[in-house]
Chains A and B, each alone.
Chain A
């Protein structure tokens, strides 16, 4: 499991940082230089193949000023292809451009760059971005909306050989002051098809963001991602990917759940306080691919705020029996907290207890608060509230380590 915390400058930056994290893109420090030339290195770019090492870029021929030849060597990767001043350089490990300056570079002039492998690559669980689309278009998902970006991701599963198709598109409506994500699961990818027409596509789930600074937490492994984004004072979350099924792959081939903070409404703002705005762990709408590869709706509340019980499909323990919810639970007797699995219990189309979300648990909110850490004796979990709600039964725990 890999984690990344940080702050995004906007909803689009949040998506860009998430894509980089999931696909295992590494990072680099600022290049340092030693030598006589006054040129610069710019456009340092990392990739999923970036390793944790020092990249040394050394001038080996200054015969042609402005087109000097540079050797590129990684302390782990070894010798890479040569670079040339003024020509964009790209390898699997790093990209950059060396720019000529007023004083020419000389032999043995040298740039060094410290690079760090992406967490998902280091864990051997990096996802693949099958396609992206940064050409805006209007009229989806709502009539007033403009789609800014689409990404089509494939997760390798815990085995590394699976194909889990998870798609996100960012959209906004300036007059409505909302900047949201639409989440979709799918059962394949077809480059000829539109975002909403991918093979075996799920209904949409939504996350309600804004176009401002957004602290975030990314938690992912090979089969799912959990994202927590703090928008003003509310916590927007989503879960995409496989859960832990109570069955073998042969019995239950594609146990995928797609959940955000809304299901039926694309046009909500993060500040909405209705029952259409509920986190996936105690949802108005969590989409679950069942054992027959059909997407089923799980909901603990309907949009009117009534608890949704049989024949609905519920998420345990938030909606565990009749009209009962675990709002009575305190901390343990010694002040520690227990974390309970979040279970998917299906009534329709047929009764089944499908499995548990991966890395999300129930924790009481009694004497608890968002962003606090609880330890169950084995793992550290971060406590997160259900959007704006802070009653005792409105919290989940996200496994961080």
Chain B
């Protein structure tokens, strides 16, 4: 399912998201102002618990995954909560040109959000549970963009400080899985044994494929599944635990933001990670560019 609209900023976006989440089968655990922050939205569907927090200045959204909800606790102290780092979507103050919400009324639990900060400039935040493999659980994830929108590095797609969802090199998010009897939050670059392998941005399983896409023979870009591997307790090994539902990595060289692609009976909507600006890696430029990095979201899930 898909919804779009406009919002005055992070708080209004979360308020709209609460309505959308309800229609996607989420239960609202909390949806109000809260001490020290501007707005706190707590939702769950099955064992996927997500907390979205707008700051008092209404300039960013902070994400926490969790394994439960306790009304006595704050947004950052929920059962099994994810770390309070690498969890901010610096969407900036509104008003936003628009938001785009993606989810499903099916069994999968996820809320994927794209904010169009201003024309052609985007931010992302996501929460959900992976399509789990091999009895992995609960596989709750949070993901976001965190970008140097106005610094001299705004046009650098592959540099620290410009973080993307599902990035191997510059991650901005976590996935929570019970591995070898211990529940942990994983991401690339964490200390062992809490490391993850994610698919792209300067490295990762899909990086070369992304660079070799789109195809010259038909102009089409492959859709790469977002595969998650998490570290085992010992042995310097990683297990596949599943892919993110209804979202794919795409090289959007031949696409424009918000293009829709039909594959069979499915419609996918493409958004750049930040901006599809061809003028990349220009020091001093304050025109953001995330190169051809993009995500496709299934619109009809």
Contacts and interface: CB of A to CB of B under 8 A. Distances in A.
A316 B209 CA distance: 8
Contacts, number: 102
Contact of B179 (A324, A331, A333, A351): A333
Contact of B222 (A246, A252, A310, A332): A246
Interface stretch (A73-81, A114-122, A340-348): A340-348
A352 B236 contact: no
B136 interface: yes
Interface string A27-70: 00000000000000000000000000000000000000000000
Interface string B143-163: 000000000000000000000
Contact of B212 (A326, A329, A345): A345
B135 A334 contact: yes
A336 B135 CA distance: 9
A291 B215 CA distance: 10
A96 interface: no
A347 B208 CA distance: 9
Interface residues of B, number: 35
A366 interface: yes
Given A329-B238, A332-B240, A366-B237, A351 B212 contact: yes
B209 A322 contact: no
B229 interface: yes
Given A329-B229, A345-B208, A247 B133 contact: no
Interface string B180-192: 1000000000000
Contact of B217 (A251, A310, A345): A251
B43 interface: no
A321 B136 contact: no
Contacts of A290: 217
B209 A345 contact: yes
A84 B197 CA distance: 72
B262 interface: no
Interface in A219-270: 246-248, 251-252
B239 A333 contact: yes
Interface in A305-336: 310, 314, 316-317, 320-322, 324, 326, 328-336
A334 B212 contact: no
A316 B208 contact: yes
A321 B203 contact: yes
Contacts of A326: 205
Interface in B231-245: 232, 235-241
Interface in B194-209: 197, 203-209
A265 B49 CA distance: 58
A332 B136 contact: yes
B179 A353 contact: no
Contacts of B134: 331-336, 338
B226 to A, nearest CB: 13
A353 B213 contact: yes
B211 interface: yes
A25 to B, nearest CB: 37
A251 B214 CA distance: 14
Q: Is the interface of B mostly helix, strand, loop or mixed?
A: loop
A354 interface: yes
Nearest to A324: B203
Interface string B110-152: 0000000000000000000000011110000000000000000
B261 interface: no
B218 interface: yes
B72 interface: no
A342 to B, nearest CB: 12
Interface residues of A, number: 38
Given A331-B239, A333-B241, A347 B205 contact: no
B216 interface: yes
Interface string A342-385: 01011100111110000000000010000000000000000000
A352 B203 contact: no
B77 interface: no
Nearest to B235: A330
Contacts of A247: 215, 217-218, 220
B212 A352 contact: yes
A346 B205 CA distance: 15
A331 B239 CA distance: 6
Nearest to A392: B237
Contacts of A248: 218
B205 A320 contact: yes
Contacts of A335: 134
Contacts of B239: 329-333
Contacts of B135: 332-334
Contact of A347 (B212, B235, B236): B212
Contacts of A324: 203
Given A320-B205, A328-B197, A333-B179, A351 B216 contact: yes
A318 to B, nearest CB: 11
Contacts of B220: 246-247
A320 B168 CA distance: 13
A351 B213 CA distance: 6
B205 A317 contact: yes
A317 to B, nearest CB: 6
B254 to A, nearest CB: 12
Interface in A271-312: 290-292, 310
B211 to A, nearest CB: 7
Nearest to B206: A320
A355 to B, nearest CB: 9
Given A334-B135, A353-B222, 14 more contacts: A247-B215, A321-B204, A328-B237, A329-B229, A332-B241, A333-B134, A333-B177, A333-B179, A333-B239, A334-B134, A335-B134, A338-B240, A345-B208, A346-B212
The 6 lowest CB-CB distance pairs between A and B, nearest first, are A332-B134, A291-B217, A330-B237, A334-B135, A350-B216, A251-B218
21 contacts: A316-B209, A320-B209, A321-B205, A321-B208, A322-B203, A326-B205, A328-B197, A328-B229, A329-B237, A330-B238, A331-B239, A332-B135, A332-B240, A332-B241, A333-B179, A333-B241, A334-B135, A345-B209, A351-B212, A353-B209, A354-B215
